[in-house]
Amino acid sequence: MKTVVKNEVYTGTVTDYTHEGMGVIKVDGYPVFIKDVLKDEKIQFKVIKANKNFGFGRNLNILEPSNNRVEPPCEYYYQCGGCQIQPLSYSEQLNFKKQTVDRNMNRQAKLDIETFDTVGMEAPHHYRNKSQIPVKRVNGKVQMGFYKPRSHDIVDIKTCYIQKDLHNQLMNKIRPYLDSVSIYDEATHKGLLRHLVIRSNHDNTEVQVGFITNGRKNQFQDIIQMLNKEFPEVVSIIQNINTKKTNVIYGDETIVLKGHAYITDELLGKKFKIRAKSFYQVNHSQTEKLYQKAIEAAGLTGTETIMDTYCGIGTIGQCAGDYAEKIIGIEVVESAVVDARENAELNGIHHAEYYLGKSEEVMKELVKKGIKPDVVFVDPPRKGCHEAFLDSLVEVQPEKIIYISCNPSTLQRDLKYLNKEGYQVSPVTPVDLFPHTNHTEAVVLLEWETT
């Protein structure tokens, strides 16, 4: 029931966080969501939107700050949409993520399971190994950085606190060269350069620079020369052509301008080639912790057939593969399957097979062919698993499923489904892959109930 009036000012105490990391203040039971305020803080706020069952407010004044409040370490935080929870101390960020997962498991899915503490990062900054930087020309001046929240206006950024330092250096080095490059304009769908993409391996020995362009013209020779001279670690330069009117960054065609089409990184002692369009986790050290948890949960003995569904470039299966008899991977992006097959070779793995297609379709076919995995790793995108995929899982009944998720809301939906069908859910471990953002990763073991 609405108990507030738009544009009126109220005073209240934050009692909770939303799953997006906003503070919640209840006014006579009516929840108002407010950005950049912390649990237990007393604030003065203005109501900016009042829907029937909930509203939004703007913080005007913090009357009693929380001990967990910190000054956002990034000078662009209040303009940029890249991070959402920088005013929370890092320990409070980890608490917030644990709470988000726990609510989903227990309040939403009613699974009645424990949520462990979030596995945090030792130095939670400059971790992103992939930067997709939109480029614009405004009043004759090139802007590059990240979008403002819910907009395509760019915050012109010199240093991003979460992307790797080397990416900041490259971005600033390339910036003046763009004065003489044709820049894409979304409104007219004219101009060449849409995004600059930078991706690097964990020790910065291999870096890929990518130009995403509206057309095939190459106006990047001067930049390539400069990179050759000043950044020998840039071992791959690519141009990806995207001529569509779309928010999707990559187009279908990729041209190699220097070196290989890929860079190579290492995870848990295995090597991985990564092509521009293939998925690869953005936080190297935390990914190793996540995979270690997943592999531990699998409890492999060396005799198992493991399935790596939504496998990307084959990372989880190959990291677990030393302890398995056979690896079967499924992935929908073609370049990632190419990478996965090459990576198996690179790692001397001869007991892996990769299938190109949707997990929900390929899994069904494999089940029909009588393939029976003992352990299935499930690592879908944010939208979670298709019901047809979950049905195939239930049909084939692997002893263990290890579900890795980047979205607690679809995780709880899928776990609830599998639990109803007979899988017992173990405690969940959140792992912080995305410090300072409201994104939450989690890993959980499910076991087939034999009784």
Ligand X SMILES: C[S@@+](CC[C@H](N)C(=O)[O-])C[C@H]1O[C@@H](n2cnc3c(N)ncnc32)[C@H](O)[C@@H]1O
Nearer to ligand X, 315 or 347 (CB): 315
What's the closest the beta carbon of residue 340 comes to ligand X, in angstroms?
A: 9
What's the closest the beta carbon of residue 354 comes to ligand X, in angstroms?
A: 11
Provide the 3-class DSSP secondary structure of residue 449: coil
- 262 appears as a binding residue in the annotation: no
Triad 202, 204, 206: Cα angle to 5°: 100
- 169 appears as a binding residue in the annotation: no
Which residues of the shown chain bind ligand X in the complex (CB under 6 A)? 279-281, 310-312, 315-316, 330-333, 336, 358-360, 379-381, 406
Distance CA 265, CA 319 (A): 13
Nearer to ligand X, 105 or 336 (CB): 336
Residue 337 host element (H or E) = helix 334-346
What's the closest the beta carbon of residue 413 comes to ligand X, in angstroms?
A: 16
- 286 appears as a binding residue in the annotation: no
CA 307 to chain centre: 22
What's the closest the beta carbon of residue 311 comes to ligand X, in angstroms?
A: 5
Nearer to ligand X, 360 or 414 (CB): 360
Distance CA 353, CA 371 (A): 12
**74, 83, 385, 406: the active-site residue:** 406
CA 213 to chain centre: 24
Distance CA 378, CA 363 (A): 12
What's the closest the beta carbon of residue 443 comes to ligand X, in angstroms?
A: 11
- 76 appears as a binding residue in the annotation: no
CB-based contacts of 66, cutoff 8 Å, min separation 6: 38, 39, 40, 41, 92
What's the closest the beta carbon of residue 437 comes to ligand X, in angstroms?
A: 15
Give the tokens for residue 20: 């997006």
Nearer to ligand X, 374 or 379 (CB): 379
Give the tokens for residue 442: 């989690």
Specify whether the CB–CB gap between 245 and 218 falls below 8 A. no
Nearer to ligand X, 242 or 392 (CB): 392
Distance CA 63, CA 362 (A): 57
Is 406 marked active-site?
yes
Specify whether the CB–CB gap between 221 and 229 falls below 8 A. no
Nearer to ligand X, 220 or 291 (CB): 291
Specify whether the CB–CB gap between 344 and 320 falls below 8 A. no
φ/ψ of 56, rounded to 5, equals -125, 145
3-state helix, strand, coil in the chain (%, to 5): 25, 35, 40
Q: Which residues participate in the annotated binding site?
A: 281, 310, 331, 379
The catalytic residues are 406
Q: Which residues line the annotated binding site for S-adenosyl-L-methionine? A: 281, 310, 331, 379
